[in-house]
């Protein structure tokens, strides 16, 4: 079977990893001109962590990742206002740069990745897909996979325009990494955040004297600003703390986007299927999109490469249906959870900030910490235990 995967991100690479081991002929196209560096920190746990363990990369993720031991809220002078210790003993939770997760998966993928390339046109027919790439070449494949993220071009070409599927969550998000030994040491192995109603800025220290920064702000208009770096400086610079300093050094590879969820009725049309954020973006408010992207890729590969029934090769359409049926309930649950979590991550008022601080104190009580962590992964375990495998 020949498959073309558009998008060499978390979901696309995981799918390639599994399909090529099942004997499929796999090719990937990736819009970025080379392996994507930079980016943002993610907390990695739940179903995706279990998949990583089965792929044998969990040890490496722990090596390149971080164990954050404290969440700390600070004021404009950097003084602690509230926070919580992160309980120890969660050996299946690691914080790491998204790029480090992608690289750990990519190192096990042998398929050719065509960088600087995307999908330009899709022609579906009954038993295959003809794909025209942006470099002018063509591919005739049994299956085309759109793993090209929340703003998927494959989805646009085969399913319809983005407005039909996106649910804007009323916020813009930005993230980048800078090198600064002094600030990195000052922040230390704790996740420090400053919140004012409607805005949140956070900083993590990374090895090598680096600092990962995250900005979240309430914005009724989903349209992105013409100059995202200037918009960030204008909005967050006056809030104090380390912000004026770090906002003077916004790099060219700044990540800036709207916060959205993607809701789409059908995840496949004929021989075109979507995986990861392209069909199931849960948003950073839900917290484990990368984990669910890996889980979705695993479930899809699991269904596609099932043992032949009665000597006949697996029916592709039926496999794609089963994939969607296994994934969608968990995604719907997680998206609903993400929407409820908005007020906790980016409180809209002073009262909400006070309530969040109380919740943090409760979460730190013995026993509550584990319940709290479990509540962050609604239904994810079902994906691994409830399937065919």
Ligand X SMILES: Cc1cc2nc3c(=O)[nH]c(=O)nc-3n(C[C@H](O)[C@H](O)[C@H](O)COP(=O)(O)OP(=O)(O)OC[C@H]3O[C@@H](n4cnc5c(N)ncnc54)[C@H](O)[C@@H]3O)c2cc1C
Interaction site with ligand X (CB under 6 A): 6-12, 29-32, 36, 40, 42-44, 98, 118, 147-149, 153, 173, 175, 214, 276-277, 284, 287-291, 293
Residue whose C-alpha is closest to residue 87's, from 373, 374, 291 = 373
Here the tokens at position 174 are 């930005």
* Minimum gap (Å) between residue 226 Cβ and ligand X: 21
Beta strands in the chain (DSSP E): 2-6, 25-30, 41-44, 70-74, 80-85, 94-97, 112-115, 119-125, 128-133, 138-141, 143-146, 166-179, 191-196, 199-206, 210-218, 255-262, 268-269, 272-274
Least Å distance between CB 7 and ligand X?
3
Complex with ligand X: residue 138 or 182, whichever CB lies closer? 138
Angle at 218 between CA 215 and CA 219, to 5 degrees: 110
Distance CA 14, CA 292 (A): 11
Which letter does DSSP use for residue 341 in this model? H
Nearest to 286 by CA among 341, 219, 356, 353: 341
**Least distance in angstroms from the C-beta of 101 to ligand X:** 8
Tell me how far, at minimum, the Cβ of 262 lies from ligand X, in Å. Answer: 10
Q: For residue 83, which of 68, 72, 70 has the smallest C-alpha distance?
A: 72
d(Cα 11, Cα 363) in Å, to the nearest integer? 32
Nearer to ligand X, 12 or 83 (CB): 12
Give the shortest CB-229-to-ligand X separation in angstroms.
Answer: 16
Of 9 and 378, CB closest to ligand X: 9
Q: How far is the CB of 99 from ligand X (least distance, A)?
A: 10
**What's the rounded Cα separation, in Å, for the pair 151 and 118?**
13
Q: Measuring CA to CA, how many Å separate 48 from each of 6, 129, 250, 266?
A: 20, 30, 31, 23
Q: State how far the Cα of 268 lies from the Cα of 264, in Å rounded to an integer.
A: 10
The nearest distance, CB 236 to ligand X, in angstroms, is 15
- How does DSSP assign 148-201, residue by residue? S-TT-HHHHHHT--GGGTEEEEEEEEEEEEEE-HHHHHHH-SSEEEEEETTEEE
Q: 290 vs 330, which CB is nearer to ligand X?
A: 290
- In the complex with ligand X, the residue whose CB is nearer, 172 or 322, is 172
Q: What minimum distance in Å lies between the beta carbon of 28 and ligand X?
A: 9
Q: Which is nearer to ligand X, 131 or 316 (CB)?
A: 131
Closest separation in Å from C-beta 239 to ligand X: 19
Is the Cβ of residue 29 or residue 193 nearer to ligand X in the bound state? 29
Handedness of CA 104, 109, 114, 119 (dihedral sign): negative
Q: Which is nearer to ligand X, 7 or 170 (CB)?
A: 7
- Residue 300: closest CA among 56, 12, 52, 108: 12
Indicate the residue among 196 and 254 with the shorter CB distance to ligand X: 254
């Amino acid at each position: 079977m020949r498959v073309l995967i558009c998008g060499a991100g978390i979901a696309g690479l995981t799918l390639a990893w599994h399909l090529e081991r099942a004997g499929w002929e796999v090719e990937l196209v990736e819009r970025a001109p080379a392996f994507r560096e930079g980016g943002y920190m993610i907390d990695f746990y739940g179903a995706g962590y279990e998949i990583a363990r089965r792929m044998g990369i969990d040890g490496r993720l722990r090596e390149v990742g971080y164990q954050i031991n404290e969440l700390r809220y600070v004021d404009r002078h950097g003084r602690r206002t509230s926070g919580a210790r992160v309980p120890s003993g969660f050996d299946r939770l690691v914080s790491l740069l998204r790029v480090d997760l992608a690289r750990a998966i990519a190192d096990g993928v042998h398929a050719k990745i065509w960088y600087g390339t995307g999908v330009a046109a899709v022609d579906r027919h009954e038993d295959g897909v003809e794909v025209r790439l942006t470099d002018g070449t063509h591919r005739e494949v049994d299956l085309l996979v759109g793993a090209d993220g929340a703003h998927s071009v494959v989805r646009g070409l085969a399913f319809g325009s983005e407005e039909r599927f996106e649910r804007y969550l009323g916020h813009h998000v930005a993230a980048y990494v800078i090198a600064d030994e002094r600030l990195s040491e000052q922040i230390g192995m704790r996740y420090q955040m400053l919140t004012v109603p409607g805005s949140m800025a956070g900083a993590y220290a990374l090895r090598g004297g680096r600092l990962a920064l995250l900005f979240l702000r309430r914005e009724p208009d989903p349209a992105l600003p013409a100059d995202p770096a200037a918009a960030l400086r204008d909005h967050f610079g006056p809030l104090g703390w380390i912000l004026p300093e770090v906002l003077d050094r916004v790099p060219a590879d700044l990540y800036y986007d709207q916060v959205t969820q993607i809701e789409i009725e059908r995840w496949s049309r004929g021989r075109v299927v979507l995986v990861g954020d392209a069909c199931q973006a849960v948003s950073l408010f839900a917290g484990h999109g990368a984990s669910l992207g890996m889980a979705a890729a695993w479930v899809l590969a699991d269904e596609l490469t099932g043992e032949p029934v009665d000597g006949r090769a697996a029916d592709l359409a039926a496999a794609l249906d089963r994939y969607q049926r296994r994934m969608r309930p968990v995604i719907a649950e997680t998206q609903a959870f993400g929407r409820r979590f908005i007020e906790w991550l980016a409180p809209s008022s002073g009262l909400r900030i006070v309530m969040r601080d109380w919740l943090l104190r409760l979460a730190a009580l013995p026993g509550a910490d584990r319940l709290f962590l479990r509540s962050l992964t609604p239904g994810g375990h079902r994906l691994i235990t409830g399937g065919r495998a």
